[in-house]
Every structure is written in structure tokens, then in C-alpha cells.
Amino acid sequence: MTPYFLLVLGLFVPLLAYPQSSSEGLSLALFGDSLSTSFHLDSKWKVLVQSRSSGLKDQNWYLDTDPSMQSIFSLTEQISQLLGQPVVSSNLSTVGAFVPNLDIQPGMKESILGSSSLVEQVGSVLKMRKLPSLILSWVGHNNLDYRNWQGVTAANRRALFEAHAQKFAKEYVQDLESLFVRAAREKERLAILVLGLVNFESFFEARSRIEKERVPGTYPFLEESMKVFQSMAVESRAGMVELATLLNQELRMAIQNRAKTLPENILLIYSDALAEVDLHLKETLSYEDAWHPSALGHGIFANAVFRSNEFQSGVLPFLQRK
């Protein structure tokens, strides 16, 4: 099946009709990548269908529409339960999402998968009649595949990582600027919680355990994940942990600095809730590719964000302020 055929076919796979921000009650939105969806690697045909499926955005740590006790107790559900009222949630996450103008040049793969950049996801929110009360942002994991970079050596790797991290943070904040402008103009209360990249140290601990204890026939797309994301190879994992740490450090400083200059109706907070979450258990990872989170992993993400000091002591009081 040719890439062109897949691209054309992909355009006819239904996309999610995102809920619009409500004029009453609490409304939420999330910027994210595949870690904020129910996506996992599969056959090429299933990946295409899955990446553009409306159901992809409804069974994850942020938004779960299944009320049963066996489903993920998502962040949206926890907020709704706490406040005693329904909330309107928009999951703008896409498979392959990225922070633009860095190391990723959108091409055929991104078009086929329906990937969108952070600035494109921001644009989707700006099209809403009213801004959400709370926006969460968890993007950047796809900007960590340094094995795809040109000219990386042991001697220059640290310098390249530091430059990449600084540019990442600058671009990230710049992509959020239009939200600040609109919220300031409309004088509407807006909270934005920026989440640091996932804890790759514990992630690789779980993945290494899977690789050692794997039973034949399980984790069918384990090897495929390292072909798709080359920096997950064993010899490159320490570099990914180092790079993610630098990106989070720079992003934290950039968010904190920008927050100091915003008007009182806008709350901008950085949180390490997901950068510190413990994923060392192999059960936290998908049984298909040991890359994306399992239902257990999604539940851990939801609890980590909801229980974080930034959310409990910062976001919630701000949203509940009269």
C-alpha cells in the first residue's frame, strides 16, 4: 500500500468533533501527543485507522467516557466529582504531536497520522467561542528522538542537547502567547498547567524488565517501537533521559518567568507531576508495544496530576475563586 494511498485514505477516516468550550460551568482542554490517547503500535493498517479514530481520545488519563469501575478514573472525572458538576472536556492530542520549529519537519508521515503541532492545537482552542477555564499541555516527547539528528557525537552531544532544550522552551512559550493575548483582552479567567515530560528513567526500568522477562508471543510490537523511535534503543536511553531532564529544566524556567508578567486573570503553572511519576512496574506499559501507557499507566498519570501540589494548591483555588 503506497504512502500516497494511505494519505488519501486517511483523509476519509472520521476525525473527532471536538466539544466546544461551554459558556457555563467548567470547561477543559488538553494539548498532547499519543501518551494522552489510547494509541499503541499495531499493524500499519490499524495504526492508520487508530490514529484518526474518534475513540482514541476518550480512554486515557485525561478523558475517559466509560463510567464503569473497571475503566480509567480520568482527570476529567476526578475534577467533575470534586466539583459536583459535569465539565466539558476537549482532548486535542494527536499521535505524533510535537513542538514545532525544532527537530521535526512535518511530512508525509505526519499527514497520514493526522499529527498536529503544539501551535496547531492552540489554534483549535482559539477557534472556540469561549476559552476553556483550564488548559493542560503535555507535548514534547516526540522532540526527544535525537538519534534522528545529524552530526551528534559523544563530544558535542551535551552542547547540542542544551541548545535544543533552550530552543524548545522558548518555542513552547511562544506557541502559548496567543492564548495569553486573548484571555487578557477578554478578561476571562484562564489557568494553564504545563506538564513536564514523562519520567523516562522509570519508564526504561519497566521496559528493560519487559525485555528480560518477555514470554514468546507477547508484546508483538516491542521491536517495532525502536524502529519508529530510534532513541529508545538500549544504547541511546541514557541520552533520552538526559535530554528530557534538560528540556524539563528549561521549560520550567521559561514558564515561571513568563508567569510573572501575566495579568491576574491568567494563571500559568509548570508541574513536574508526570516527570516524577513512578512507572517502574512493567504493568504500567502497553501489552502491545511496551511504549505507550496501559490502563494502569493512564490511571497513575491521572492521579499524579490531580494530586500534585500545583493542581491542588494552584489550579483548583484559582478556578474556584469568586
pLDDT exceeds cutoff 50 at 7? no
Instruction: Read off the pLDDT band of 47 (50, 70, 90).
Output: confident
Which has the closest alpha carbon to 194: 140, 246, 120, 243?
A: 140
Q: Is the pLDDT of residue 146 over 80?
A: yes
- Band (pLDDT 50/70/90 cuts) for residue 50 is confident
Neighbours of 298 (CB within 10 A): 26
**pLDDT confidence band for 25 (50 / 70 / 90):** confident
- Whether the pLDDT of residue 78 is over 60: the answer is yes
Number of Cβ within 10 Å of residue 229's Cβ equals: 19
- On whether the CB atoms of residues 219 and 289 are closer than 8 A, the answer is yes
3-state DSSP assignment of residue 319: helix
pLDDT score of 107: 77
Helix pair 237-259, 200-213: axis angle to 10 deg: 150
For the chain, give every domain's residue range: 3-8+28-320
pLDDT at 299: 97
Q: Parallel, antiparallel, or unpaired: how do β-strands 134-138 and 88-91 relate?
A: unpaired
Q: Can you give the pTM of this predicted structure?
A: 0.90
Write the class of the CATH domain 3-8+28-320. alpha beta
Name the pLDDT band for 42 (thresholds 50, 70, 90).
Answer: confident
257: cell is: 518567568
Burial class (CB in 10 A: 0-12, 13-18, 19+), 55: exposed
* Greatest mean pLDDT among 104-108, 148-152, 233-237: 233-237
Q: How far is CA 210 from the centre of its chain?
A: 23
- Asked if residue 46 has pLDDT above 90, the reply is no
* Band of pLDDT at residue 174, cut at 50, 70 and 90: very high
For residue range 81-100, what is the model confidence (pLDDT) as tens digits?
999 988 999 999 999 999 99
Q: Considering the chain, what percentage of its residues have pLDDT values greater than 90?
A: 77
* In 136-278, alpha helices (H): 157-186, 200-213, 222-228, 237-259
Mean pLDDT of the chain: 90
> Is pLDDT at 202 greater than 80 in this prediction?
yes
32 contacts 60 by C-beta, under 8 angstroms:
no
Grid coordinates belonging to 37 = 490517547
Banded model confidence at residue 24, pLDDT cuts 50, 70, 90:
low
pLDDT bucket at 302, cuts 50 / 70 / 90: very high
Q: Can you read off the three cell numbers belonging to residue 154?
A: 559523544
pLDDT tens digits along 231-248: 999 999 999 999 999 999
In tens, the pLDDT along 237-296 reads: 999 999 999 999 999 999 999 999 999 999 999 999 999 999 999 999 999 999 999 999
Q: How confident is the model at residue 159 (pLDDT cuts 50, 70, 90)?
A: very high
